[in-house]
A = this chain, B = another copy of it.
Amino acid sequence: MNRALSIRSNKNGSSSSAAPRHGFSLSSLRGTVQPELSKKLYKLIKSENHLIQSHEAAGKERLSIASQLSDWGEATNDDTISDISDKIGVLLSELGEQEDLYAHNIDDSRAILKTIRNTEKSVQPSRDNKAKIADEIAKLKAKEPESAKLVTLEQELVRAEAENLVAEAQLTNVTRQKLKEAYATEFAATIERAEKQIILARHGRRLLNLIDDTPVVPGDMRAPYEYTNQARQILNDAEDDLRDWQPELEDVPSSARLENNLMPSSGSHQQTVDDSVGDETMIHADPEQSRISSGTSVTTGQVGHGYAPSETGTAGTTMNVA
């Protein structure tokens, strides 16, 4: 584990060298057309796409290997190898399916990050406008301090500052809620893949124990294979375990109750944790429990309203413009 307890690239140059070339060459090019504010997240979202593709490819390979193993086993003309290799193949192909499901779940997390990026993108003009007006005022004051236009500009500036205050509030509201939601989703997906693949791998090892690998001498006949039923039972067990699988996650409650205008909904501060989780089976883990990661039910954060630029506004919000 990274002992520095930080991987910020200015603290840790090696981490940037871990970036695959294709990831950067492409992203950095496209990134340049993005406003400064959303550039970093834009690139990160691109990289997540490469990550997703890698896991999809791994899933495909697994499926291919699974059927190749089964076919090879059949060709050995050894009943034991033929049956076990076919059933190992079944487990491997499910392992591949889980890898593919994981890729799709990361894609959901990626979509949530996009809502942050889109808000960043929309906030940039507001910042620019405020700066532009302040700049004009400074220039004009220097050139013709008595200009009547200064009054108009000052009024424009106050409006621009008010608009920007709203934009910045929307940005911090979306950023905190969606970052929490995106990674709660991604970590939940990591745990799901892991727990299901553990089920498959453990039953796989049980299957291997049905192979009698006691060596024979030339001319000896192998004892006939008699574990067909046990082997099938192991597959049934694996299937049952997968069907019975339940997510057990530490709750990641959200206090975010955002209106479409990305402002707090009335009463969001009185909201209790229970309201915030759309999961009936939820149990709350106390810190001790969570420490030993025997967590509770799956929660990947509240799915808030997506960002809706058309509805941006200060309607129903109080303002403390200094």
Report A's interface with B, CB cutoff 8 A: 1-2, 4-10, 12, 15-16, 18-20, 23-24, 40-41, 43-44, 47-48, 50-51, 54-55, 57-58, 60-72, 74-76, 78, 80-81, 84-90, 93-96, 162, 165-166, 168-169, 172-173, 175-177, 179-180, 183-184, 187-188, 190-191, 193-195, 197-206, 208-209, 211-220, 222, 232, 235, 237-239, 241-242, 249-250, 252-258, 262-264, 268-269, 290-291, 293, 295, 301, 314, 317-322
Contacts and interface: CB of A to CB of B under 8 A. Distances in A.
Q: In the complex, which of the residues A64, A93, A215, A219 has the most CB atoms of chain B within 10 Å of its own CB atom?
A: A215
A235 B75 CA distance: 50
Contacts of A200: 190
Given A194-B198, A269-B214, A72 B51 contact: no
Given A2-B90, A8-B70, A176-B213, A295 B44 contact: no
B215 A293 contact: no
A61 B47 contact: yes
Contacts of A165: 218-219
Question: A-side binding surface: helix, strand, loop or mixed?
Answer: helix
Given A20-B61, A23-B64, A40-B75, 5 more contacts: A1-B239, A6-B70, A41-B72, A191-B202, A212-B255
Given A176-B213, A187-B202, A66 B7 contact: yes
B177 A213 contact: yes
Nearest to A70: B8
Q: Which of A80, A204, A268, A314 has the most CB of B within 10 A?
A: A204
A200 to B, nearest CB: 8
B175 A268 contact: no
A222 B19 contact: no
A84 to B, nearest CB: 8
Given A175-B76, A206-B250, A57 B54 contact: yes
Nearest to A189: B201
Nearest to A62: B51
A19 to B, nearest CB: 4
A231 to B, nearest CB: 9
Contact of A295 (B40, B173, B202): B202
A248 to B, nearest CB: 10
Contacts of A68: 19, 40, 43-44, 47
A217 B60 contact: no
B213 A187 contact: no
Contacts of A258: 215
B319 A249 contact: no
A90 B214 CA distance: 47
